Amino acid sequence: MSSEAKPIREIRINPVVPAEAVLVATARAMRPREAEQPAERDTRTHVESCPFCRGNEERTPPTVAAWPEGPEWEVRVVENLFPVLGTDDRGGPLVLGLQQAIDGYGRHEVMIDHHHHGVALHEMSATHLALLLTAYRERMRALYASDPRLRYVLAFKNFGKAAGASIGHTHSQLIAMPVVPQNVQDEFAHARSYHARHGHCIFCSLIDEALTYEATIYDRDSGEVRRRIDVGQYVIERNERFVAIKPFASRFEWEVHILPLAHQADYLDLADDALPDLADLLRRTMHRLDAVIGGAQYNYFLHSLPHCAECAGGEASYHWHLEICPRTSIPTGFELGSGLFVNTVSPEEAAARLRAVVLD
Ligand SMILES: [Zn+2]
Ligand SMILES: [Zn+2]
Ligand SMILES: [Zn+2]
């Protein structure tokens, strides 16, 4: 373990979204309220009363897509019964003084990730995970094609009560919306300006830096070397095509990002022959998280190139990635009031512990 005995207390800036800062404070006093201990996970294979279990298809809205089609589906997509965004047009934007709203049109789908009710991601086979990752890609593609007003399709998964999952059966969601969410917009805008200034993609630069195993921090004023840091320590694992990285400015204690090693802006361009490597790295990463935290409750989401006229030309500067954010603490008033995330486990130590997990 590379953990330092001295508590860390520093504000780290997200290099992709400089407006986003994290206070890494490993002293106990800063610890936010711990999340409820994960309730015993429901590991049952089949639950008769669960509408998402195989055989209960008539209890959900109709099937939108399934892999494979028919009663033996492995992954199945249905419309959300309680959509966040609907198809109703109010007929124009709503403006109330300074308050503005645009119609909440869009699409909201639920992806049943596995016919097995309580299976965790790391327990799924790599073949199944490849199917799931294909399903995200295919539904994103279909949703973008269904309505030109849709500018962003967010694919995400909430697993466990602490992560806001309201249904016991393992599932993901896709929300197609008429706006580019602020998080993505911030990443996109900064990546574009970084590209304009430096001629390359900031995500590729961060990957290169992580894989070269050392970075030098210069003093802003004098230009002198302040310290050298071993940036290789942020790589959890890499394979032929993908890398799992612990961000230097991690907002969440056990946050991990997965990115393609070769530049690729849009998840829709993910090639079939890259799927096994991505599935394998995802499975291994979730396994590590589960081993270290013990029953990971998490949110993960895909950040991919937005589809909008203003985003044209962004292929060179944006780089898709999967952000995995395990929920081990509950934000307090300090975080909500300051907008500053508090992380009480040093990313260096977290990375070392994740890397130390022995996998088959
Ligand atoms: Zn179920
Ligand atoms: Zn890139
Ligand atoms: Zn992102």
Given a cut of 60, is residue 96 above it in pLDDT? no
What pLDDT score does 125 carry? 95
What the block records as the tokens of 235 is 């790589």
Q: Tell me how far the alpha carbon of residue 166 lies from the centroid of ligand 1, in angstroms.
A: 12
The predicted structure's pLDDT at residue 222: 84
Ligand 1: centre distance to CA 54 (Å): 7
Which pLDDT belongs to residue 107?
87
Q: Which domain holds residue 327?
A: 9-89+97-356
Range 330-336 contact pairs with CB under 8 angstroms and sequence separation of 24 or more: 330/32, 330/33, 330/34, 330/35, 330/162, 331/32, 332/32, 332/33, 334/32, 335/32
Quick one: average pLDDT of 188-205?
A: 96
Give the Å distance between the CA of 191 and the centre of ligand 2: 9
In a domain, 4, yes or no: no
Return the ligand number nearest the Cα of 260: 2
The neighbour count for residue 280, using CB atoms within 10 Å, is: 18
Q: How close is the Cα of 126 to the center of ligand 1, in Å?
A: 21
Under the banding of pLDDT at 50, 70 and 90, the label for residue 319 is: very high
Split at pLDDT 50, 70, 90, the class of 2 is: very low
Residue 286 sits at φ, ψ, to 5 deg, of -65, -35
Confidence class for position 33, pLDDT limits 50, 70, 90? low
Nearest to 53 by CA among 33, 18, 78, 24: 78
Instruction: For residue 318, tell me if it sits in a domain.
Output: yes
- 248 CA distance to ligand 3 centroid (A)? 14
Dist CA 263 CA 271 (whole Å): 13
Whole-number pLDDT of residue 193: 95
> What is the count of structural domains for the chain?
1
Q: How far, in Å, is the centroid of ligand 1 from the Cα of 353?
A: 33
User: Is the predicted pLDDT of residue 249 greater than 90, yes or no?
Assistant: yes
Per-residue pLDDT band for 39 (boundaries 50, 70, 90) equals: low
| pLDDT for the residue 4 | 47
- CA 74 to ligand 1 center in whole angstroms: 13
Compute, in angstroms, the gap from residue 301 CA to the centroid of ligand 3: 8
Between 220 and 65, the more confident residue is 65
248 CA distance to ligand 1 middle (Å): 37
Asked whether residue 1 is assigned to any structural domain, the reply reads no
Q: What is the pTM of this model?
A: 0.89
User: What is the CA(45)–ligand 1 centre distance, in A?
Assistant: 8
Ligand at minimal distance from the CA of 317 is 2
Each residue's pLDDT tens digit, 237-247: 999 999 999 99
Write down the mean pLDDT value for the chain: 87
Among the bound ligands, the one closest to the CA of 319: 2
CA torsion 75-78-82-85 (nearest 10°) is 100
36 falls within a domain: yes
pLDDT attached to residue 3:
45
Does residue 1 surpass a pLDDT of 50?
Answer: no
Residue 300 CA to chain centroid, in angstroms?
A: 3
Q: Which residue has the higher pLDDT, 33 or 334?
A: 334
Q: Which of 59-73, 110-124, 221-235, 286-300 has the lowest mean pLDDT?
A: 221-235
Give the distance (Å) from ligand 1 centre to CA of residue 66.
Answer: 16
Ion ligand 2 — residues with CB < 5 Å: 201, 203-204, 263, 319
Across the range 322-348, mean pLDDT stands at: 88
Q: What is the pLDDT of residue 160?
A: 85
- Which pLDDT score is estimated for 93? 55
Least-confidence region, from 98-112, 113-127, 144-158:
98-112
- For the cut 70, the answer to whether the pLDDT of residue 95 exceeds it is no
Q: What is the pLDDT of residue 59?
A: 93
> CATH number, domain at 284?
3.30.428.10
Question: Would you say residue 2 lies in a domain?
Answer: no
Q: What mean pLDDT comes out for the span 333-350?
A: 88
Q: Which ligand is nearest to the CA of 198?
A: 2
Residues 6+ away with beta carbon under 8 Å from 301: 154, 155, 156, 157, 322, 323
Ligand 3 midpoint to CA 322 (Å): 7
For residue 18, name the pLDDT band (cuts at 50, 70, 90).
Answer: confident
**Amino acid at residue number 188:** F
Instruction: Identify the pLDDT of residue 230.
Output: 66
